[in-house]
Amino acid sequence: MIPTNSIGIVETQTFTFAQDEPFVLDSGATLQPVTLAYETYGQLNAERTNAILICHALSGSAHAAGYHAGDDKPGWWDDCIGPGKAFDTNRFFVICSNVLGSCYGSSGPTTINPAAGKPYGLSFPVVTVQDMVRAQVKLVDHLGIDQLFCVAGGSMGGMQVLAWAANYPQRTRAAIPLATTARHSPMLIAFSEVGRQAIYADPAWNNGAYYDQPSKPDAGLAVARMVGHITYLSDDSMQEKFGRRLHERERYGYEFHAEFEVESYLKYNGNKFTRRFDANSYLYVTKAMDYFDLGRDGSLSQAFRGATAVKFLVVSFTSDWLYPSYHSKEIVKALTAVGADVTYLDILSRWGHDAFLLEVDTMTGLLENFLGRLLREERDPSSAVRESYFVNGEGDA
């Protein structure tokens, strides 16, 4: 039964480009052709000014909202995308595309390499967040949209938002980077690398050439996911969610089964992940995140120097130890230095990094406010004010 506030049944579409000319990546390598899987919700208005691009995180897909026929679970950000929701599909035309390198229909290691007649595997070129965004620009061109109303996303989705603002500032009116960073920290790289090492350590990985083999590196991918999963939670949320409760038993078993609820939960979700994600894609997407460092060729302010006309809503969460608030404050500082219009909120939350998906009420209020302000200014440009407010913020950002 599909809830009445859902966008309803949706389908993933594909867009293929670079058939005639190769798509050149940051590495210098090329791809030809490139396919992006994408979904859209709502209607593009006649002026083509109401499009919002949603960018997904590490394990996400183009399926951000609504239901695929036969599914009982909606898209990954259905809480915030739909009729009357924060990204109101009665008003906005919402686009979400699967990133380059992923395994949900966009070009990636699972795609057939036309030159070889078999999946790319590790012969797929390494991509960057900027490459992902460059491909999204092609999609937005294809949809005939000159300027997006807004680009929004959390975690790796937030990195894409920042790359849009830095590299294509004229292509979006606003940017909403959530729970993210402009520069992947050594701790983030370390957790990425542990996940990759878990995959490499699985003999079934076979150097990435497992698509025609009887087994896949599921064991390694499950361990990688378990590591990641812990980092998306917080000490506090794990205390609340699991405590030291035992799973389906009363007392310690003194054996090596998963005895605690938290063990059982992680193991279950680690295994479940292997049924929906590809191990090689996990390598490519985490690698893209590790490379992300917007200020690498100068300062972060310099990276944002063209983004003075973009309106930003930057959000961090107090219990997010993976992308701690200071990462967002660095972004705000750099944006403020170039005179961009920035609203920053450091939201008090217990839910760790996952808070950007879980704090639905807070996020809904926040997004509605911010988008409402942009709509008012669109109707009446004289109403524009440079707002800056901070919740739990330290003001120094």
Task: List residues near its own copies by CB under 8 A.
Answer: 26-29, 122, 125-126, 183-187, 189-191, 193-194, 196-198, 200-203, 219-220, 222-223, 226-227, 230, 233, 235, 238-239, 241-244, 252, 254-256, 258, 260-263, 266-267, 270, 283, 287, 290-291, 293, 321, 324
Q: Which two tokens stand for residue 208?
A: 């990435």
**CA-only gyration radius of the chain, Å:** 21
* 320 catalytic residue (yes or no): yes
Report residue 142 as tokens.
Answer: 């294809």
Active-site position among 6, 61, 106, 155:
155
Grouping H, G, I as helix, E, B as strand and the rest as coil, residue 265 is helix
Closer by beta carbon to its own copies, 84 or else 298? 298
Asked whether the beta carbons of 2 and 8 are under 8 A apart, the reply is yes
For residue 2, the minimal CB distance to its own copies (Å) is 35
Nearer to its own copies, 241 or 305 (CB): 241
CB of 251 to its own copies, least distance (A): 10
Q: How far is the CB of 230 from its own copies (least distance, A)?
A: 5
Question: Hey, what are 344's tokens?
Answer: 């920053």
Nearer to its own copies among residue 53 and residue 262 (C-beta) = 262
Secondary structure class of 155 (helix, strand, coil): coil
Q: How far is the CB of 280 from its own copies (least distance, A)?
A: 10
d(CA 9, CA 373): 30
CB nearer its own copies, residue 39 or residue 131: 131
Among candidates 364, 226, 286, 246, which has minimal Cα distance to 101?
286
Residues 314/343, Cβ–Cβ less than 8 Å: yes
**What span, in angstroms and rounded, lies between the C-alpha atoms of 342 and 335?**
7
Using DSSP's 3-state secondary structure scheme, residue 39 falls into strand
Say whether 327 is catalytic. no
6 is catalytic: no
- Single out the catalytic residue among 320, 341, 346, 354: 320
Catalytic residue among 78, 202, 353, 354: 353
Residues with catalytic annotation? 155, 320, 353
